[in-house]
Amino acid sequence: MRVYLTTPIYYVNATPHIGHAYTTIATDILARHHRQRGHETFFLTGTDEHGTNIPRVAAEAGLDVKAFVDRNAAAFREMTERVNASNDFFIRTTDPRHEAAVQEFVQRIYDAGEIYEDVYAGLYCPRCEAFYTEAELVDGKCPVHGIVPEYVEEKNWFFRLSAYQERLLDLYDRNPEFVLPRFRYNEARSFIEQGLDDISVSRASEQWGVPVPWDPGQTVYVWVDALINYWSALAFAREGEDLRPVLWPEVRHLLAKDILKFHCVIWPALLLAAGLDVPRQLFVHGYLLFGEQKMSKSLGNVIDPLDLIDVYGADPVRFYVVREVQFGQDGNVSIDGVHERYERELGNDLGNLVSRTTAMIARYRDGRLPAATVAGAGGDQLAGLGDDVAQQLESFDITGALERIWKQVRSLNALVEERKPWELAKDDSGAAALDGTLYELADGLRAVAVVLAPYLPETAPRILESLNQPLDLSWEGVASGKAVPVEGIKPAAPLFPRVEAPSAAA
Ligand code: ME8
């Protein structure tokens, strides 16, 4: 199986906030999971650096445009690294190789007769880099940014999007899982069904962009330029190799609902026009809200993921965002919430279980984990875990899969309470039951570490280390009885040490 996963490429008009980190983290969890299962996996993220807004914001910052985009692209790259994303490449749309690919792509569509010249007159939100009709505005303002759009009138090149309605509807009807979740599929499909207008794919007044190859006085509309990254990157992401024949169209795009129309409607149409295959699948997630509002730089209500990572580390932040908000829905996030889950779930449920298990093996068995001799009284504790999680992650249910794993953590904790190893340790009659119980706990934790590794890539190896188990994260490990007999297990240091509560730290 081949899996090519993408995040949107983020605008460098601002610096990253936790909403950007969110999509990157979710995509990373899927990429790590697929690699674990031996699937050929490629994970792409990057930055969107053209558009009418960028020169303006650069000027406000008193910087040359190129210096400005370099600085902010570096901030996104840093965010990507700090959340511990395992991306295979980081694309920047100012990369000359991407720019050349954009020209080649639009030329194909032009040669196919799907682009024509006309006059554009209408409303444009420079923050969205999108055109709006009067009907789409809220109180005359952009529905996303709440700013009054600009009236634009210029000669543009237009793409015959309207001609793709039937083909798009057909695509949706043949692939009921083309867009997930289902309500987003319905949203995209009904948008297409309402009828599509041709779209402007060039700007006459903007120099900061990729020149239209047959009319170099104009630049390619930033959204067309940006979408093409998913295709262009494959040509040069790996030195000396063209991955396009290998990985296209095995692509799964992840994005939030703000950019559904561009990805679920315009992008497949552009691909069809260029004679290319449409993406395999798209997953549209919701918004992280802060104080019930969409977090965004322009609204000024953002959480900086790096500040949180400084305090809690990357794993707890990764864990929090996908656990707190059902992936696909909107949900509130807060700094107190991060702290609460850090203490209660990571510290108590998981961290203490590792501490207790290793401490009991050290104390009652002198650090020795015997081979599995006693079948657990409760049957196979781990039955179904691997299959359930794999199935949920295949349908992008990142939150559901994590809950399934947490159920396992809770049942291991329940096992300790039920079997009471400290009582079994009182005399020899309990020796076999104690061996069996300690084995089940260690083996269960080992399997949990493997299945959790995509979510907690730093913590998982530490769990295996504390149990002196091989650092093998392959999927086969998500099953019972794979813990190997070892010696020298010591009481583990806390995985999630105490952190000052945010109010105290502030
Ligand atoms: O739209 N909650 O870039 P962008 C959840 N350059 N996700 C959020 C979020 C929030 N509050 N805020 C941002 C662009 N995101 C274009 C994309 S792709 C060819 C071009 C995430 O910087 C989410 O993935 O505005 C959303 O779709 C994306 O950042 C928008 O990033």
Residue 258 pLDDT greater than 50, yes or no: yes
For the Cβ of 294 lying below 6 angstroms from any atom of ligand 1, the answer is yes
CA angle 246, 247, 251 (to 5 degrees): 165
Q: What is the mean pLDDT of residues 130-134?
A: 87
For the Cβ of 227 lying below 6 angstroms from any atom of ligand 1, the answer is yes
Q: Which amino acid is at 331?
A: G
Alpha carbon nearest to ligand 1 atom 27, residue:
256
- Nearest atom in ligand 1 to the alpha carbon of residue 286 is 5
For the Cβ of 330 lying below 6 angstroms from any atom of ligand 1, the answer is no
Q: What strand order describes the sheet that includes 199-200?
A: 130-132, 115-125, 150-159, 199-200
Helix (H) or strand (E) run with residue 79 in it:
helix 65-82
Distance CA 33, CA 27 (A): 10
Q: Give the pLDDT score at 506.
A: 45
Q: What is the mean pLDDT of residues 202-224?
A: 95
Q: Give the pLDDT score at 504.
A: 47
Residue 377 pLDDT greater than 60, yes or no: no
Q: Do 446 and 464 meet the contact criterion of CB atoms below 8 Å apart?
A: yes
For the Cβ of 450 lying below 6 angstroms from any atom of ligand 1, the answer is no
Which residue from 48, 76, 263 has its CB within 8 A of the most atoms of ligand 1, so it is best to mutate?
A: 48
How many residues are listed for the chain in this entry? Answer: 506
For the Cβ of 65 lying below 6 angstroms from any atom of ligand 1, the answer is no
- Band of the pLDDT at 418, cuts 50, 70, 90? very high
Residue 503 pLDDT greater than 70, yes or no: no
- Band of the pLDDT at 505, cuts 50, 70, 90? very low
DSSP 344: I
Q: What is the mean pLDDT of the chain?
A: 95
Burial of 311 (0-12, 13-18, 19+ CB in 10 A): middle
Q: Which residues contact 22 (CB under 8 A, 6 or more apart)?
A: 285, 288, 321
Which residue from 76, 255, 332 has its CB within 8 A of the most atoms of ligand 1, so it is best to mutate?
A: 255
Alpha carbon nearest to ligand 1 atom 29, residue:
20
Which long-range contacts does 35-40 make (Cβ < 8 Å, 24+ apart)?
Answer: 35/86, 36/450, 36/453, 36/454, 36/473, 36/474, 36/475, 37/1, 37/390, 37/475, 38/474, 38/475, 39/1, 39/2, 39/3, 40/1, 40/2, 40/3, 40/246
pTM for the model stands at 0.95
Q: Give the pLDDT score at 295.
A: 73
CB-CB neighbours of 284 under 10 Å: 24
Residue 41 pLDDT greater than 70, yes or no: yes
Q: Give the pLDDT score at 208.
A: 96
Please identify every residue annotated as catalytic: 17, 20, 125, 128, 142, 145, 294, 297
Distance CA 402, CA 25 (A): 14
Say how many Å lie between the CA of residue 256 and the centre of ligand 1.
Answer: 6
Distance CA 68, CA 58 (A): 6
Nearest CA-CA partner of 12 in 62, 52, 70: 70
Q: What percent of the chain has pLDDT over 90?
A: 88
Q: What is the mean pLDDT of residues 156-171?
A: 98
Q: Which residues contact 93 (CB under 8 A, 6 or more apart)?
A: 9, 46, 47, 48, 49, 50, 99, 102, 225, 226, 229
502 preceded by a cis bond (ω within 30 of 0): no
Q: Do 297 and 20 meet the contact criterion of CB atoms below 8 Å apart?
A: no
Cross-strand partners of 151: 123
- Band of the pLDDT at 302, cuts 50, 70, 90? confident
List, for residues 82-104, the tens digit of each pLDDT value: 999 999 999 999 999 999 999 99
Q: What percent of the chain has pLDDT over 70?
A: 97
List, for residues 107-121, the tens digit of each pLDDT value: 999 999 999 999 988
For the Cβ of 10 lying below 6 angstroms from any atom of ligand 1, the answer is yes
Q: Do 427 and 442 meet the contact criterion of CB atoms below 8 Å apart?
A: no
Q: Do 201 and 158 meet the contact criterion of CB atoms below 8 Å apart?
A: yes
Residue 19 pLDDT greater than 50, yes or no: yes
Which residue from 23, 54, 80, 230 has its CB within 8 A of the most atoms of ligand 1, so it is best to mutate?
A: 23
Hey, what domains does the chain have and what are their CATH numbers?
A: 2-285 (3.40.50.620), 334-477 (1.10.730.10)
Matching residue, tokens 């890539």: 457
For the Cβ of 295 lying below 6 angstroms from any atom of ligand 1, the answer is yes
